[in-house]
Amino acid sequence: MKIFSGGEGVFTLFDPKKQRLPIKIWLKSVEEIETDCLNQALNLSNLPFAFQHIALMPDTHVGYGMPIGGVLATTDVIIPNAVGVDIGCGMSFVATDVEYKVLETTTRNGLTLKEHLVNKLLEKIPTGFSHRKKDVPSSLIDDFKTQAAKDKALVPNLVKELDAAYKQLGTLGGGNHFIEIQRDEENKLCLMVHSGSRNIGYKIAETFNNIAKANYSKWAHPDFNTSSNLWYLPIDSKEGETYLRWLNFALSFARDNRALMQKIVLSKLEETLKLAGINSFSITMSANAHHNYAALEKHFGQDVWVHRKGAIRANKGEYGIVPGAMGRPSYIVSGLANSDAFNSAPHGAGRVLSRKAARRTFDAKELATELDKRGVLLGVSRVKNVIDEHFRAYKPIDEVMENAKDLVEPIKKVEAIAVIKGD
């Protein structure tokens, strides 16, 4: 394999005998990449409709079909597995003008206000596999159901699934999703939510990947590797047009899901602060960013479909969010519009251990002790249920940020004081 330096913190892999396109990687060496992740990137580089090059972010690791932290531009096709199963998964963030210490120094009924707030949020926001017991009013779902009626012949299961989506709004989910109460470098209170499109997004991804696979013979490309699990849909096909419509719905759903949770968090924060005699506060900054999606963008003079799977868009001056692992620092960033990265940036710390390996390696008591030492309250029913999210299962976030220095500029660093996880 031929390796070409692209400057500090980035290099290019390109062997014309094995690759159709180069792979640009924002790491210091190829040794930092898992073999399976690299093989997935090679599959991407040989897609007949891939454009210009493949980009791998500093948090890249193996995914399903396509690496997490991968950016793929295509011409005329869209690939469900290059978007991922949690369509629209992303982050929202707000900073306030409240001193965070008030949550730790004020007590009511034997609890700090921080503990009080976490308990209230666990009561109001379903986590893990839990959904709401009652439908949440949603004009988004109402309107889309009317549009989706014409898709009943192609995706009857999804049309039916829309009825269940009302109960999925304002729910956190599990895995790496979280709600964090944070402090910034000025000791002001901040809030962050990480979630996506829940089960409806998963069903959309699964359904259209199956459709792409089942209908492959209709548009089979002779140079497509069928073992790559990157089944595709031509944009101008009925199937492709339908997927785009459902994809965009899932992106809006994910944003609404985060917005509702953020509204609940702010409401419960307001109630909690009143216990300390603080009757009002202001939001001084906000940000929101998807990191699993595809969009039509112009790059290198051509309109292409940019798939970001575990990567955020980083146009010039655009706010983004790069969270660390559980209980570790996170960063609010400003995009630098790096064209070689298709104006993209990392979405987080990136795993170094699989969930199974993390469960074998780490101890729940040790994790609880470590978080307690750092002053981080963990809102979860059982610590052992989130041991696969141990911060040591992820790359150090400052290492990721160092490798991303020509992709984004950090503008705010925040530290967790409480983390709510779905188990």
% of the chain exceeding 90 in pLDDT: 92
Q: 420 - beta bridge partners?
A: 179, 379
Say which residue the tokens 């990137």 belong to: 41
φ/ψ of 294, rounded to 5, equals -135, 145
Q: Is 258 helix (H, G, I), strand (E, B) or coil?
A: helix
pLDDT greater than 90 at residue 406: yes
CATH class of 3-421: alpha beta
299: annotated active-site residue: no
Report which of 320, 287, 328 is spatially closest to residue 407, judged by C-alpha positions. 320
pLDDT at position 104 is 96
pLDDT at position 8 is 67
Q: What is the pLDDT of residues 99-117, one digit of tens each?
A: 999 999 999 999 999 999 9
- Per-residue confidence band for 7, with pLDDT thresholds at 50, 70 and 90: low
DSSP output for 310-371: SEEE--TT-EEEE--STTS-EEEEEE---GGGTSEEE-S--BSS-HHHHHHH--HHHHHHHH
Q: What is the pLDDT of residues 31-80, one digit of tens each?
A: 999 999 999 999 999 999 999 999 999 999 999 999 999 999 999 999 99
Domain locations in the chain as residue ranges? 3-421
Give pTM, 2 decimals.
Answer: 0.95
pLDDT at position 143 is 97
Mean pLDDT of 339-365: 95
pLDDT greater than 80 at residue 4: no
Mean pLDDT of 156-184: 96
Across all residues in the chain, what is the average pLDDT?
Answer: 95
Q: Which of 131, 177, 291, 347 is catalytic?
A: 347
pLDDT greater than 90 at residue 129: no
- Per-residue confidence band for 168, with pLDDT thresholds at 50, 70 and 90: very high
- Per-residue confidence band for 382, with pLDDT thresholds at 50, 70 and 90: confident
Residues 347, 69: contact at Cβ < 8 Å? yes
